[in-house]
């Protein structure tokens, strides 16, 4: 899996990098093999009234997939957790949608085959 991590407004430490790899690696089985993942973490601004606001942003592209999720929180690690949950929900939704389309197609073909006179009828 190809993960690119970018930090905006903060220093990218080894702890942050490990945490991002751990969280995004948890949804790796739902992501197609050829997809590229770009993760951006950082501060949105430095001048909020009630402390810093951090954001986590994930973009998954390639292999027929284009997905984007962004979340903001008062803590960097909770922003990463929230964006990981959003990505997981969206990937499960897409996976379920694809399986439903496959099942519907199979059902259509089966019904077409039942309509042919030489298929599915017993000979007397």
Range list of β-strands (E), 9-116: 36-45, 53-62, 65-73
Domains of the chain listed by start with CATH number: 2-115 (3.30.160.100)
Q: pLDDT for 87-109, tens place per residue?
A: 999 888 887 777 777 778 887 88
Element (H, E) at 3: strand 2-8
- Output the pTM of the full model: 0.73
DSSP symbol at 28:
G
The tens digit of pLDDT for each residue in 44-92 reads: 876 666 677 899 999 999 877 888 999 999 899 999 999 999 999 988 8
């Amino acid at each position: 899996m190809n993960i690119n991590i970018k930090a905006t407004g903060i220093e990218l430490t080894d702890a942050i990098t490990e945490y991002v790899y751990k969280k995004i690696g948890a949804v790796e089985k739902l992501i197609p093999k050829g997809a590229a993942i770009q993760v951006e973490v950082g501060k949105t601004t430095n001048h909020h009234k009630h402390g810093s606001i951090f954001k986590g942003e994930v973009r998954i592209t390639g292999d027929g997939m284009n997905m984007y999720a962004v979340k903001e929180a008062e803590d960097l690690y909770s922003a990463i957790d929230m964006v990981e949950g959003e990505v997981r929900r969206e990937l499960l939704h897409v996976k379920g949608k694809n399986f439903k389309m496959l099942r519907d197609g199979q059902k259509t073909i089966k019904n077409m085959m039942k309509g042919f006179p030489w298929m599915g009828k017993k000979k007397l």
